[in-house]
Amino acid sequence: MIRVYVLDTNVLIQSPDAIFRFMENQVILPLVVIEELDGLKKADGEKGINARDVIRSLENLRLKGDLLKGVELEGGGSLRIEPNCSNVSLPEDLPDHKPDNRILQVCLGIKYDVKDDDNIVDVVLVTKDLLLRMKAGILGITSEDYLNQQVQNPHDLYKGRQCCYANEDLFSDFNSGGIDVKELYKVDDNGNKISLDMTENEFVIIYADRSLKKTLLGKVKGNKVIPLKYGRHEPYGVKPRNAGQYFMQEALMLSSEEAPLVIIKGMAGTAKTFYSLAVGLDKVWNANTREYRRILVSRPNAQFDDGIGFLPGSEQEKISPLMRPIYDNLEQLVDSNDDLRYSNEMELQGKVEEIFSRGIVQAEAMNFIRGRSFMKTYLIIDEAQNLTPNQVKGIITRAGKGTKIILLGDPNQIDIPFLDERTNGLSYASERMKGSKMCYQVTLNVDECERSELAFEAINIL
């Protein structure tokens, strides 16, 4: 038994290979989708690139057969373009000159044509558009989101850390040999011990079974939890204030060979960007080894994806307003004296500008990263929850020798249409890279907000 999947344009723009992801089922593209792809093929940024990728795939399939009659796909299934169904009536409130309504018209027409076909289970509209799914439901059309690049329930996302208990007698030997994973446990509501499933590179807070005031911080390596390597360090004079920051510092301080990818998730005020810059400056400026040549920072958002326009000035001058959060964090790092930092604004600005003028920190528009290779670079992608899964893949595959990539963001703060907690690139990378020896992850808790008392209060109340 097969299904017929009718794809909306937004599915193809987010995932250009979507037409090949429906196994043995039939995939149908309404002609209006082809027209929309034609209109997007010259667009700047990700939209235009993905539209052209889809068009090339369709051209390769056209060379194999008639797309109007249907072409077999590798791995089973078929694809065809549907230009008809114009005779299908829609409610008066849904004029058929609108692209979304023409897609609904095709869905209804196909549904009527195949209703007596015993081999077809259902006709399903696949779209990222919530309102289009709503209209489909009104018309009795089955609809769903594109699930191939979705992660599980956002509340069950991998956090990169967990808490557990161990016999207090084991604490004395922790620094010399670690603690066996099988010695660690949790306790259920009835007081029963529960064994743990632990992931490679996962961070752990271990409480002593007889004294909760005694704790150890470690990370999983093989079948043991071992001590943190950089627990006593203060990169660029910054000292960790909570367990989450100790874990974050460990992941960031590890070399690009040990941890080429770091994923840090957390709400505003948990010092994700601040700590990442602090470690970067320490590695680039203070370290004798000069582990990295530079710090490269990019913030994906709607403005970057639409291009940086025709305003006068260099690329750096154009994107400077969008990089203001980076400047704010650098102001705190270049002058650690909270009382005197802002007494001389010109001097403070000069210190920050020196960092950029010397090439220690560079800002880059996201749409200029594609196609490049980065060598010995400390690459920070801030607000990574506004990336698509394909963009994340494109960035991670840009890493050359000696490069470390840091993805920062909050999956609850999405600014890009058609992305959500389950489909954004940050969540996608987190779940797919879980357990990789090359990736360290940590999710910072709400109570680890260090921005201000007001910020902490707002996170909990608002």
Q: What is the pLDDT of residues 65-110, one digit of tens each?
A: 999 999 999 878 999 999 878 788 888 888 878 999 999 999 999 9
pLDDT at 120: 75
Kindly report the CATH number that applies to the domain delimited by 149-227: 2.30.130
The values of phi and psi at residue 304, to 5°, are -65, -40
pLDDT value at position 8? 97
User: Which tokens hold the place of 237?
Assistant: 């004079």
Query: What distance in Å separates the CA atoms of residue 90 and residue 101, rounded to the nearest whole number?
Result: 8
Domain with CATH 3.40.50.300 in the chain: 252-461
Q: Is 32 within 8 Å of 85 (Cβ atoms)?
A: no
CA atoms lying within 13 Å on the CB side of residue 322: 22
The total of other beta-carbon atoms located within 10 Å of residue 280's CB is 28
Looking at domain 2-144, its CATH architecture is 3-Layer(aba) Sandwich (3.40)
Alpha carbon separation from 295 to 4, 188, 280, 333, 439 (Å, rounded): 48, 45, 6, 14, 19
Per-residue pLDDT, 305: 44
- Rounded distance, CA 280 to CA 404, Å? 10
- As annotated, the residues of the chain forming the CATH 3.40.50.1010 domain(s) are 2-144
* Gap between the Cα atoms of 262 and 16, Å rounded: 27
Low-confidence ranges of the chain (pLDDT < 50): 302-306
State the pLDDT at residue 302.
Answer: 47
Contacts of 233 (CB under 8 A, 6+ apart): 249, 253
Concatenate the DSSP letters of all residues of 304-320 into one string: HHT--TT-SS-HHHHHG
Task: Report the distance separating Cα 50 and Cα 105, nearest Å.
Answer: 26
Beta-carbon contacts of 403 under 8 Å, excluding residues fewer than 6 positions away, are: 256, 260, 292, 374, 375, 376, 377, 378, 379
Helices within 139-254 (DSSP H only): 174-177, 243-253
Q: Measured between alpha carbons, how far is 181 from 335 in angstroms, rounded to an integer? A: 43
Domain covering 252-461, topology: Rossmann fold (3.40.50)
Q: For residue 320, what pLDDT is reported? A: 64
Q: Give the model's pLDDT for residue 44.
A: 79
Q: How far apart are CA 442 and CA 159, in angstroms?
A: 6
- Answer yes or no: pTM beyond 0.85: no
